Amino acid sequence: MTPSLVVIGSTNVDLFAQVTRHPTPGETILGSGGGRTAGGKGANQALAAGLQGAPVRFVGAVGDDGDARIALGSLEDADVDVTDVQVAEGQPTGLAIITVADDGENTIVVVPGANATVTPADARRAVEAMAQGDVLLMQGELSRTTTETAIRQAVAAGHRVILNVAPWGSLDGDVLTAADPLVLNEHEARQAVAELGLAGAHDSAGCARALREAGTPSVVVTLGPEGAVAVDADGETHVPSPRVQAVDTTGAGDAFTGALAARLLQGDNLRTAVAHAVRVGSYAVQHAGAQPSYPSLTQELP
């Protein structure tokens, strides 16, 4: 059987507002937009991987409301398997309130809703159903216990785990160092180094090296418009990003991580996978929204 990418994660509806600039605390400004699209870091990464040719199984939860249809629509259209997405009775589908300024930068408030009902037992069942060669992809929007349970069980069963700790949340050291790769942005990399009590890391590359030396098989730190740095047993490499005009950075990190996971599942080495993922992320920032900005295999990358 062809190996699959199993994503246990969050699914939300994204509510967008466009503003000329972000308001200061206590300030009210006028915006535009108000559109609702599918989102959630787990669903975003599952979709990005599926659009890049990976067979994907998504495990999560939606509410028993009208937003559930929006949240799952893009996944179903991309043939992502959503059989294991449960409906949480009496709970709303997760909601992300996103404000995007004219310079492309965003602020995001996430209301977990049904995502909070994904339990360690759900994670165990999902991992037990994984076949040989399947890869597990996790993020940081589910509960700590659910995330740690899934990763520990997958590692014990011999599965590769890709972990993107975003948004940042404290995880036990054995969970962080089990990731292959551990995918972080610059801020999260510094937090991971602090969490593990590592010293001597003064920049993103230094953080990646320190995490690798602490026992993590491979580490990828994304650098926004500067690309990404990757460290594994073959050494350290910096992959620059194509120069593009950013329209909206929402979900670009998820586009990167999903594309990276797809290429690693398909057998690429880390550097080749990162180089492709950087181009997918660069494509995404040129388009509005999260999931609507993700390219398929037929679209030309920068």
d(CA 223, CA 37): 26
Residues sharing a CB contact under 8 Å with residue 148, sequence separation 6 or more, in sequence order: 171, 172, 175
Nearest to 231 by CA among 206, 264, 260, 194: 206
> Can you list the alpha helix ranges (DSSP code H) found in the chain?
41-51, 67-77, 120-128, 144-156, 173-176, 186-195, 204-213, 252-265, 270-284
**What per-residue string of b and e applies to 165-175 under the rule 16 or more CB within 10 Å gives b?**
bbebbebeeeb
d(CA 261, CA 253): 12
Q: Which of 122, 203, 254, 268 is catalytic?
A: 254
Tell me how far the alpha carbon of residue 110 is from its chain's centroid: 14
Nearest to 15 by CA among 62, 86, 88, 71: 71
Strand-pair category, 56-63 with 32-39:
unpaired
Respond yes or no: is residue 254 known to be catalytic: yes
Strand-pair category, 94-101 with 81-88:
unpaired
Report the catalytic residues: 254
